[in-house]
Amino acid sequence: MKFSILVPLYNEEEFVATLLERVIAAPLPEGVEREIIVVDDGSTDASLQEVEAVAEKYPGAIRLLKTTRNQGKGAAIRRAIGEAHGEFCIIQDADLEYNPNEYSKLLGPLMDGRADAVFGSRFLTSGERRVLYFWHSLANHLLTGMCNVFADLNLTDMETCYKAFRTSLLRSIPVRSQRFGFEPEITIKLAKRQARIYETPISYSGRTYEEGKKIGLKDAFEAFWVILKTSLSNDIYVAKDKDILDAFASAPHFNRWMADTIHPYIGKRVIEIGAGMGNLTRLLLAGRKRYVATDIDCEHLERLRSRLSERPRLETAELNAADPQGHAAFSGQMDTVVCLNVLEHIEDDLEALRNIRSMLEPGGRAVILVPEGQSIFNSLDEELGHFRRYSEDQLRQRMTDAGFDVHKVLRFNRASRPGWWLNGTILKRRTISRLQLKNFDRLVWLWRRIDDSLPWSPTSIIAVGIKGAIKESPIN
């Protein structure tokens, strides 16, 4: 297991060498190795030479990345994140305010799987700290309180520079702040991603301004602005297709409509392919003897586990529908496979259907939902990574070729087809408007009543395929 220590550096020639010596000597949990990434943010003093001297003393221990001009702490952290190879990472300022001997305290909740991020709090009761400026402390408490209001958290120290993360999670979140706005930005975005955040008490040896402290009143106003801006933004995924999936998490009525539509065909032992963040999982899980939620994206599964951590019959697994090897662990065990909005993402969809069939017991059912109508394939499909949209005949033929008897094909959600066509075909948009989605979701009660009467094709079709002979009786 590797632990990445990310060191943003700007004009710290007096302290950085001592800091790096302490980082190299700091104890880590057994089996954990460290990598140190120093990003020099255009220092104008001898900081670079100090780092190079330590790196020469400890060959291979430090990677030094250089920038030609000062861009800010946030920019340096952003570059370091892109270079990190560890499972976990921590932000380590290049001064001596934070003690590297406390790494194990921050790593503990990450390593045992309880946390996605750990904040080292200077204000929890345990530990020690240097007593300094009242007004600085007051500003910190005010900003933490304001951030808590917008993020719905109860942190004691949002502005702490000691923040540790699962690296894959941190890398999946876009960081826009150039300077000290990184702290509130990442906190609010973690909250919006429903990450599990822990706090642990740390010691703190703060500097005076005479000793080189850089953060000031201007940065407090910037943090205030970043809190407001980030709280109003949905910019929480680097990948835009995941942002669209996140938008559907705030469409509970639509998700309920989809779940109710397929519910009559769901048995007791279910595996869901492409469960994503669990938008449908949480609605289908009740009453099952076994429910396995799978996805190809480990960050989706982490968010799903966080949302559904108290559901004892839920299992999760990383699974690629196109890879036959991953399905062997479930061969012939399940009475139902649910695969919603996945098949269109797979180039060899026939192989994926055969893999799905292999997990079913004889007579088991596959419930497959795909987008309908290649004639409205547009920019939204491209952004989502779709290879195709299906006709009913194409879907029937694919499932028959994979060894299924197609029991039924359902036409689902005619109501959204005009909006899909307008946004993707006419306006060439590449993302779904959250406002449009929320307005659509508010009217789902109406769409459910009139959907079958609308005189155009549906947005999606759902095929129910049976492995072996068709069985009309419900699965027990």
pLDDT score of 135:
60
Which residues belong to CATH 3.90.550.10 in the chain?
2-235
Nearest CA-CA partner of 2 in 75, 107, 126, 98: 107
pTM of the model: 0.79
Evaluate whether 378 touches 418 at the Cβ level (below 8 Å).
no
- Helix 134-151 crosses helix 182-192 at what angle (to 10 degrees)? 30
Tokens coding 205: 């040896």
Mean pLDDT within 181-207: 89
Average pLDDT, the chain: 90
Q: Looking at residue 131, what DSSP letter applies? A: -
pLDDT score of 131:
59
Cα separation of 299 and 302, whole Å? 5
pLDDT score of 104:
94
Strands 197-201 and 88-91 come out as unpaired
Tokens coding 105: 């305290």
pLDDT score of 341:
94
Cα separation of 369 and 255, whole Å? 13
Using one digit for the tens of pLDDT, what is the confidence trace for 265-321?
Answer: 999 999 999 998 888 999 999 999 999 999 998 888 888 888 887 888 999 999 999
Instruction: Output the CA angle 129-130-135, nearest 5 degrees.
Output: 105
Evaluate whether 449 touches 397 at the Cβ level (below 8 Å).
no
Q: Does residue 351 surpass a pLDDT of 80?
A: yes
Mean pLDDT within 215-240: 83
Using one digit for the tens of pLDDT, what is the confidence trace for 421-474?
Answer: 999 999 999 888 888 999 999 999 999 999 999 999 999 999 999 997 444 445
Q: Which helix (H) or strand (E) holds 361?
A: strand 360-371
pLDDT band for position 211 (cuts 50, 70, 90): low
How many Cα atoms occupy the beta-carbon half-sphere of 218 within 13 Å? 3
Tokens coding 266: 């769901």
pLDDT score of 307:
80
Tokens coding 50: 């100090």
pLDDT score of 472:
46
Contacts of 13 (CB under 8 A, 6+ apart): 43, 45, 46, 47, 49, 50
pLDDT score of 80:
95
Strands 33-41 and 2-9 come out as parallel
Evaluate whether 334 touches 311 at the Cβ level (below 8 Å).
no
Using one digit for the tens of pLDDT, what is the confidence trace for 323-342?
Answer: 888 888 999 999 999 999 99
413-416: list long-range contacts, CB under 8 Å, 24+ apart.
413/257, 413/258, 413/447, 413/451, 413/458, 413/459, 413/460, 414/451, 414/452, 414/454, 414/456, 414/457, 414/458, 414/459, 415/440, 415/447, 415/450, 415/451, 415/454, 415/459, 416/440, 416/447, 416/459
Which residues belong to CATH 3.40.50 in the chain?
241-270+333-467
Tokens coding 265: 């065909």
C-alpha distances in angstroms, 155 versus 106, 151, 160, 198, 220? Answer: 15, 10, 10, 9, 18
pLDDT score of 125:
63
Residue 202 C-alpha from the chain's centroid: 27
pLDDT score of 213:
55
Looking at domain 2-235, its CATH architecture is Alpha-Beta Complex (3.90)
Using one digit for the tens of pLDDT, what is the confidence trace for 12-59?
Answer: 999 999 999 999 999 999 999 999 999 999 999 999 999 999 999 999
Q: Point out which residues pair with 370 in neighbouring strands.
A: 461
pLDDT score of 194:
86
Residue 441 C-alpha from the chain's centroid: 23
Nearest CA-CA partner of 6 in 44, 41, 32, 54: 41
pLDDT score of 205:
80
Using one digit for the tens of pLDDT, what is the confidence trace for 364-386?
Answer: 999 999 999 999 999 999 988 99
- Helix 182-192 crosses helix 217-231 at what angle (to 10 degrees)? 20
Cα separation of 84 and 5, whole Å? 8
Q: Is 430 exposed, middle or buried (0-12, 13-18, 19+ CB in 10 A)?
A: middle
pLDDT band for position 417 (cuts 50, 70, 90): very high
Looking at domain 241-270+333-467, its CATH architecture is 3-Layer(aba) Sandwich (3.40)
pLDDT score of 473:
46
Using one digit for the tens of pLDDT, what is the confidence trace for 61-110?
Answer: 999 999 989 999 999 999 999 999 999 999 999 988 899 999 999 999 99
Strands 360-371 and 460-467 come out as antiparallel
Provide the 3-class DSSP secondary structure of residue 119. Answer: strand
Cα separation of 297 and 318, whole Å? 7
**Residue predicted with more confidence, 400 or 235:** 400
